[in-house]
Amino acid sequence: MIIITTPTGAIGHQVLERVLRGEEPIRVIARDPSGLPSHVRERVDIVRGSHGDTTVVNQAFAGADSACMRRVQESGDQACSRNLGARARDAGRC
């Protein structure tokens, strides 16, 4: 399972499109899944919410093998970085 944390962002959507070319299962974190194209929504597992929410991050990273994490620029930026970093460390991948 590959996690992509900013699937509608300037970089995240490009990463997502490239990863979709492969066979690996994909999970994304999205505050508003309607911003994802329909072909993407049909193919990926979507965890709705914010990176600043520990519950959302834990749900998204459950069973993950790898992740593409992009630092987000929002009011909860420090919480986002802490949540994503902690999850990666817990998995022994950071």
DSSP for the chain reads: -EEES-TTSTTHHHHHHHHTTSSS-EEEEES-GGGS-HHHHHHSEEEES-TT-HHHHHHHHTT-SEEE-----STTHHHHHHHHHHHHHHTT--
Q: Which of 24-33, 63-72, 73-82 has the highest mean pLDDT?
A: 24-33
What tens digit of pLDDT does each residue of 9-19 get? 888 889 999 99
What tens digit of pLDDT does each residue of 2-42 get? 988 889 988 888 999 999 999 999 999 999 999 999 999 99
Q: With a threshold of 0.85, does the pTM exceed it? A: no
- Domains along the chain with CATH numbers: 2-90 (3.40.50.720)
CA 24 to chain centre: 14
